[in-house]
Amino acid sequence: MEESKKLNFLEEIIEDDLKSGKVSSILTRFPPEPNGYLHLGHAKSLCINFGLAQKYGGKTNLRYDDTNPVKEDVEYVDSIKEDIKWLGFKWEKECYASDYFDQLYEWAEQLIMRGLAYVDDQSQEEISKGRGTVETPGTNSPYRDRTPEENLKLFREMRDGKYAEGEKVLRAKIDMAHPNMFFRDPLLYRIKHASHHRTGDKWCIYPMYDYTHGQCDSIENITHSICTLEFDVHRPLYDWFIQTLGIYPSHQYEFARLNLTYTLMSKRKLLELVQKGYVAGWDDPRMPTLCGVRRRGYTPEALKMFCDKIGVSKRDQLMDIQLLEWCVRQDLNARANRYMVVQDPVKLTLTNWPEGQVEWYDCPLNPAEPEGAGRKVPFTGSLFIDRADFMEDAPHKFFRLKPDGEVRLKYTYIIKCNEVVKDEAGNVVELKCTYDPSTKPGSGEWRSVKGTIHWVSCEHARKIELRNYDRLFTLADMSQVPEDKDYKDFLNPDSLVVGEGYAEPALVEDKSGIAVQFERTGYYIMDKDSNDEKTVFNKTVSLKDSYKPE
């Protein structure tokens, strides 16, 4: 029997709210700022927001937090939708904070007329100096006591484009000595003479995050507004706006961000890697972006399995990237098609093979489904095997090919190595072997040997390009970059090693659309850079790892 999982703290809150009748159904939202591509951290937020709604029969809105036109772009808006769909989530409404600019503006006039907001002419430096510190109270702005009428006139002039950026701002009038710094007359609007990707040039004043987020939640009747921990200090202000305006009481709850070893998830830094060419783009397979891991061959199923395993906590933690890789392996092991690919070839000749003879084998695409779809694999007397599968002075426990030793060729005969041919420099260039015709699987007689190795027929082999990826950074905890260093100092110079391989012909015809397993080595996925001249495969993850989840 399956053990029922303990509820996480968000599930507890939601179950209480449903039970007490505080809400009759739940509505969550996912609120990305369209200033970059989604990353693995966002996958966690998506799984939580959409997962809770699914579990409790509720819904989730997609809401773009598009209040900073300078950094935002439709390219990001589009990519975000694509990534969410890829994960398999369906949003209820597609919303934009900018849809509510008129309403937010109206509320600002209302606050002004109630004496709760004022136009401040101080510079940014003066404002931040005037805020004081956690220990010392702030000082009132000399403009704080303007009359509502004067403020309204000035605010309308701000809106109408009469002032330059930085000349004036609108602030809430709360308390410059408040113990919570966010209450010391927070900024509500700033002037930005910038075109917005949706509202064009309609506005030259844009609302601040704190003034926007809660009200947008409220307008949409969001019941549970779930965000990351760093916003818990903003929550009282979130509540203050909602209470002061007397609008639908959305509530905010915070969970710990996802951090992963050997990578980082700040959009600003990821953008820098892209812009400065450290990676090939947002979808470079080394990037922790969703489009990057998709190109790498990670599956939505694996990401969801991972998010489920890490759960929801209230304490920041650094998760081991090996757990994510383990999830990828778990999912692909069950589903990926198998093919044989030799990466570092050495020629193997069967001296007793009838010249010109080709045998075609029906091999399963997935050993878990021996009756399922198959592939045809050609076998001849002229093969490539991986150099690492042969050893001349082999230790006792080496069960692959060695002089005078026997090994089984996967899916077919047992062979014996009789002669090692070397070039002048002493490198092994050919292995002369004989096969034992009586050992063909299914031929009745069964003899077993310890080792099995993979191979491809030389004349049928397809040459492919292999992009073997490793971790993007060399430092496990990227929050611990020393002061005198830059995070880019820790970029792994070996994060991409390009090589080539020889593949059985069926590989390049694979239509599964997900990563495939190169037998005995790892999972790989065909890359979009493939064309008529070359076929490119990205390494998703190696086949085995000593890592085991707790």
Give the footprint of ligand ATP on this chain (CB under 6 A). Answer: 31-33, 41-42, 44-45, 65, 227-228, 257-258, 265-267
* Closer residue to Mg ion in complex, CB, 160/230: 230
Least gap, CB of 479 to Mg ion (angstroms): 18
Listed in sequence order, the residues at least 6 apart from 247 whose beta carbon sits closer than 8 Å to its beta carbon are 215, 218, 219
Is 392 annotated in the active site?
no
Least distance in Å: CB of 46 to Mg ion?
Answer: 15
Is 397 an active-site residue? no
CA-based end-to-end distance of the chain: 20
Which among Mg ion, ligand ATP, none contacts residue 45 (Cβ within 5 to 8 A by kind)?
Answer: ligand ATP
Q: Which of residues 398-437 bind Mg ion (CB under 5 A)?
A: none
Say whether 476 sits in a helix, a strand or coil. coil
Residues of span 299-358 touching Mg ion by CB under 5 A: none
Which of 352, 359, 435 lies closest to 401 in space, CA to CA? 435
Q: Which does 186 bind (CB under 5 to 8 A by kind): Mg ion, ligand ATP, none?
A: none
Q: What CA–CA distance (Å, rounded) separates 45 from 210?
A: 19
Measured from the CB atom, is 265 or 324 closer to ligand ATP? 265
Instruction: Name which of Mg ion, ligand ATP, none residue 522 binds, using a CB cut-off of 5 to 8 Å depending on partner kind.
Output: none
CA distance 359 to 443: 14
Q: Does the annotation mark 22 as catalytic?
A: no
CB of 26 closer than 8 Å to CB of 18: yes
Instruction: Indicate the residue among 40 and 515 with the shorter CB distance to ligand ATP.
Output: 40
Which residue is at the shortest CB distance from ligand ATP?
Answer: 41
| Greatest distance between any 2 Cα atoms in the chain | 102
Contact yes or no for 485/441 (Cβ under 8 A):
no
The kind and range of the H/E element at 270 are helix 267-275
> Binds 31, which of Mg ion, ligand ATP, none (CB < 5 to 8 A, cut-off by type)?
ligand ATP
* Residues from 496 through 525 that contact Mg ion (CB under 5 A): none
Q: CA of 541: how far to CAs of 21, 99, 231, 287, in Å? A: 47, 43, 35, 14
Judged by beta carbon distances under 5 to 8 A according to partner kind, the member of Mg ion, ligand ATP, none in contact with residue 257 is ligand ATP
The catalytically annotated residue of 29, 44, 168, 267 is: 267
Choosing from 257, 269, 387, 440, the catalytic residue is 257
Minimum Å distance from CB 14 to ligand ATP? 17
Q: List the interface residues with Mg ion, window 25-54 (CB under 5 A).
A: 33
242 binds, among ligand ATP, Mg ion, none (CB under 5 to 8 A by kind): none
532 token code pair: 């008529």
- Give the one entry of ligand ATP, Mg ion, none that residue 228 binds, where binding means its C-beta sits below a cut-off of 5 to 8 angstroms depending on kind: ligand ATP
Residue of minimal Cβ distance to Mg ion: 33
Cβ proximity to ligand ATP, 79 vs 468, nearer residue: 79
33 vs 436 by CB, closer to Mg ion: 33
CB of 265 to ligand ATP, least distance (A): 5
Q: Which among 11, 33, 465, 500 is annotated as catalytic?
A: 33
CB of 289 to ligand ATP, least distance (A): 11
Nearest to 204 by CA among 163, 175, 171: 163
Q: Measured from the CB atom, is 14 or 407 closer to ligand ATP? A: 14
Instruction: Give the pairing type, strands 258-260 and 341-342.
Output: unpaired
Within 160-313, residue ranges assigned H as helices are 209-219, 235-245, 267-275, 290-296, 300-310
Backbone angles phi, psi at 5, to 5 degrees: -75, 145
Which residues touch 18 (CB under 8 Å, ≥6 apart)? 24, 25, 26, 56
Joined together, the tokens standing for residue 398 give 């080496």
CB of 299 to Mg ion, least distance (A): 27
Separation CA 380–CA 349 (nearest Å)? 9
Cβ–Cβ < 8 Å for 538, 296: yes
Q: Whose Cβ is closer to ligand ATP: residue 80's or residue 417's?
A: 80
Cβ atoms of 138 and 96 within 8 Å: the answer is no
Sites for Mg ion among residues 178-197 (CB under 5 A)? none
CB 347 within 8 A of CB 386: no
Per CB under 5 A, 269 contacts Mg ion: no
Q: Which residues are catalytic?
A: 33, 257, 267
